[in-house]
């Protein structure tokens, strides 16, 4: 057997695998011998079928099978031994003159080679937001808590301060969802007028467009996903089932204990401090995710390199369960190119900075994730053995294992970026952060 590689250019190569009869005949003979022992052919006792008959009936298919096995194994070994960093998988070149009746065979494969990449983590600048919970936000959260724990007082009709419970329906869109709204949620005076003075049992005729100040409230009220209410214009009915006003809860020790547990907070100052800490902890996660996204976009933009585009389009056309046309494969390439570029950039950064994920780290990360999940359901002190058993079951699911590994890598990359990337820091309120980032 002989394997050679011809470089077409820096990103494309062709590997040729020459296989001679001596490379596969011994294995074919061994398989034929085993077939002869098991062959069940009328007129012959088991194990007594003439070898010539076995060869005639099975010889060619066995030879083809063994040559293909040998070809795949030798090609894979060659790629590993030569340390070839390829994109996609080798693509066989079609030879119109190929003949399985020959004894010696030549196979050619196209390779797409990964480009040489140089990543400068200092290139470009991004903004690292430090989101603070200001007094306005803390005041609003205190009011929300007072309302949530306050006393509900039934009302005969809707007033400006009412909380209205009811069901939104639309038969055509199969919407039937219970919701609680206030007039603060409602957009515009004309919509608000439809609610004012209404009573339990009244059915209001409304329109989804411009009904609420925020699309998130519309999605929540209709029981739909956020993307499902984008541009939604449909008539709605809202059947009023309860009308209340809420008498805010008094700020005292009973109030503190209901929110945080007995004795955790003992003054309004401590309450406000706790709200600030909790809010800023959540904001930090959003700021970190934005920072990671911003650095990712910056690296993709600033790190220039070529890809074997024609090869990748051809490979994408054959990689899935269903073959794609050249146009479909080209469209798929355009959709996936950005992700592939970052994949290569990330791999280079990890190699240059010795960022790795071993199984023990992944298991520890899974255990930490599981502990958080259990804590949300009030299970705060699970045993180590129980956590490890659950983690091992989770990691046996390949999709879950990949998802957790991706999250862990992102966490490690974020830590590395915070250490090495140049960025400017900016302290903002959450409201200003939303305005700047999600314009």
The 10s digit of each residue's pLDDT in 360-402 is: 999 999 999 999 888 877 777 888 899 999 999 999 999 999 9
Nearest-angstrom CA–CA distance, 391 and 406: 16
Nearest-angstrom CA–CA distance, 10 and 307: 10
The 10s digit of each residue's pLDDT in 256-313 is: 999 988 999 999 999 999 999 999 999 999 999 999 999 999 999 999 999 999 999 9
Nearest-angstrom CA–CA distance, 35 and 50: 11
State the fold for domain 266-437: Trigger factor, domain 2 (1.10.3120)
| b/e per residue 185-218 (b: at least 16 CB within 10 A) | bbeeeebeebbeebebebebebebeebbeeeebb
State the fold for domain 2-113: Alpha-Beta Plaits (3.30.70)
Q: Within the chain, which residue ranges are assigned CATH 3.10.50?
A: 151-247
The 10s digit of each residue's pLDDT in 318-343 is: 988 899 999 999 999 999 999 999 99
What pTM was estimated for this model as a whole? 0.74
Nearest-angstrom CA–CA distance, 419 and 376: 32
Q: Are 373 and 391 in contact (CB under 8 A)?
A: no
Question: In sequence order, which residues have a C-beta less than 8 Å from that of residue 97 and are 6 or more positions away?
Answer: none
Q: Within the chain, which residue ranges are assigned CATH 1.10.3120?
A: 266-437
Question: In sequence order, which residues have a C-beta less than 8 Å from that of residue 106 and are 6 or more positions away?
Answer: 16, 17, 18, 19, 95
pLDDT tops 90 at residue 34: no
> Chain centroid to CA 73: how far?
33
CATH 3.10.50 matches 151-247: yes
Mean pLDDT of the chain: 92
Q: Within the chain, which residue ranges are assigned CATH 3.30.70.1050?
A: 2-113
Nearest-angstrom CA–CA distance, 380 and 371: 8
Nearest-angstrom CA–CA distance, 373 and 379: 9
């Amino acid at each position: 057997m002989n394997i050679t590689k011809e470089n077409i250019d820096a990103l494309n190569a062709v590997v040729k695998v020459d296989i001679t009869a001596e490379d596969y005949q011994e294995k074919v003979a061994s398989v034929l011998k085993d077939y002869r022992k098991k062959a069940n052919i009328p007129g012959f006792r088991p194990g007594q079928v003439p070898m010539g008959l076995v060869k005639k009936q099975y010889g060619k298919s066995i030879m083809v099978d063994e040559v293909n096995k040998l070809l795949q194994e030798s090609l894979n070994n060659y790629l590993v031994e030569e340390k070839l960093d390829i994109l996609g998988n080798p693509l066989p070149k079609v030879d119109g003159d190929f003949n399985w009746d020959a004894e010696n065979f030549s196979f050619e494969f196209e390779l797409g080679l990964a480009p040489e990449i140089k990543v400068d983590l200092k290139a470009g600048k991004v903004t690292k937001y430090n989101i603070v919970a200001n007094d306005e936000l803390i005041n609003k959260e205190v009011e929300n808590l007072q309302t949530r724990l306050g006393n509900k007082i039934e009302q005969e009709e809707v007033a400006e301060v009412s909380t209205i419970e009811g069901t939104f329906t639309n038969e055509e869109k199969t919407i039937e969802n219970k919701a609680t709204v206030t007039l603060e949620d409602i957009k515009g005076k004309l919509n608000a007028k439809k609610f004012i003075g209404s009573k339990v049992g009244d059915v209001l005729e409304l329109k989804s467009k411009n009904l609420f100040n925020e699309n998130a409230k519309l999605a929540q009220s209709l029981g739909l996903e956020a993307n499902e209410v984008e541009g939604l214009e449909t008539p709605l009915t809202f059947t009023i089932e309860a009308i209340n006003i809420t008498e805010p809860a008094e700020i005292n020790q009973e109030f503190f204990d209901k929110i945080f547990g007995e004795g955790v907070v003992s003054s309004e100052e401590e309450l406000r401090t706790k709200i600030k800490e909790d809010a800023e902890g959540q904001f930090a996660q959003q700021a970190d995710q934005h920072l990671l996204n911003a650095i990712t976009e910056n690296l993709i933009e600033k790190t220039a390199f070529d890809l074997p585009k024609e090869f990748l389009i051809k490979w994408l056309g054959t990689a899935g369960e269903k073959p794609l046309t050249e146009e479909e494969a080209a469209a798929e390439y355009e959709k996936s190119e950005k992700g592939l570029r970052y994949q290569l950039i990330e791999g280079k950064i990890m190699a240059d900075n010795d960022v790795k994920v071993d199984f023990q780290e992944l298991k520890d990360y899974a255990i930490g994730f599981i502990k958080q999940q259990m804590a949300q359901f009030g299970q705060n002190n699970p045993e180590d053995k129980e956590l490890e058993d659950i983690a091992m079951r989770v990691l046996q699911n390949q999709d879950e294992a990949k998802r957790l590994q991706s999250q862990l890598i992102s966490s490690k990359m974020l830590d590395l970026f915070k250490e090495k990337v140049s960025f400017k820091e900016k302290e903002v309120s959450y409201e200003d952060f939303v305005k700047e980032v999600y314009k």
